[in-house]
Amino acid sequence: MISGKFAITIHILTLLTKYPNDYLSSEHIAGSINLNPVLVRKEIANLKAHHIVESKEGKNGGTKLCVDPSKITLKEIFEMTFENINLGYAKNQPNPACPVGKKINENLSSLYADMNQKVSLQLEGISLEDFSNQF
């Protein structure tokens, strides 16, 4: 199972990019994603921690982008919302007495590290502005 964090965050940021002058409420954003507003606020909390957006509390409050969407890439959003790309590990500790069990996780990790490098390179080439312009 893969959590929707990245997708939700991209959705939020695309909306904020489309309406750069408005403070959008979590309710409004949640209506576009069709998601509970609390979950939207949780992802916004993460974005705030990374100084990508700013929020205003109280009436007419909401959230607003505080970076230039042409200056931030999907790679940064990926890193804020996703550990890393991988194809999983067997949960248990493999048997260290077996030459395969002993090294399997190390070898998988190295394979996955290569994967991440390739994916990062791809995502680095796409700015938030690029992504938003597709809509």
3-state secondary structure 30-60: HHHHCCCHHHHHHHHHHHHHCCCEEEECCCC
Q: Which of 67, 89, 56, 86 is nearest to 17 (CA)?
A: 67
Least distance CB 133 / DNA (angstroms): 25
Q: Which of 48, 54, 74, 49 is nearest to 128 (CA)?
A: 74
Alpha-carbon span 94 to 128, nearest angstrom: 41
Tell me: does residue 36 bind DNA (CB under 7 A).
yes
Candidate residues 61, 111, 113, 124; the one interacting with a second copy per rule CB under 8 A: 111
Among positions 77-116, residues that touch DNA (CB under 7 A) are 88, 90-92
Alpha-carbon span 33 to 50, nearest angstrom: 22
Q: Which of 67, 77, 60, 74 is nearest to 20 (CA)?
A: 67
Options 9-17, 43-51, 103-111, 118-126: segment touching DNA (CB under 7 A): 43-51
Tell me: does residue 34 bind a second copy (CB under 8 A).
yes
Enumerate binding residues for a second copy (CB under 8 A).
1-8, 10-11, 14-15, 18, 31-35, 74, 78, 81-82, 85-95, 98-101, 103-104, 107-108, 111, 114-115, 118-119, 122, 126, 131, 134-135
Enumerate binding residues for DNA (CB under 7 A).
1-5, 24-27, 35-39, 41-42, 44-45, 48, 55-63, 88, 90-92
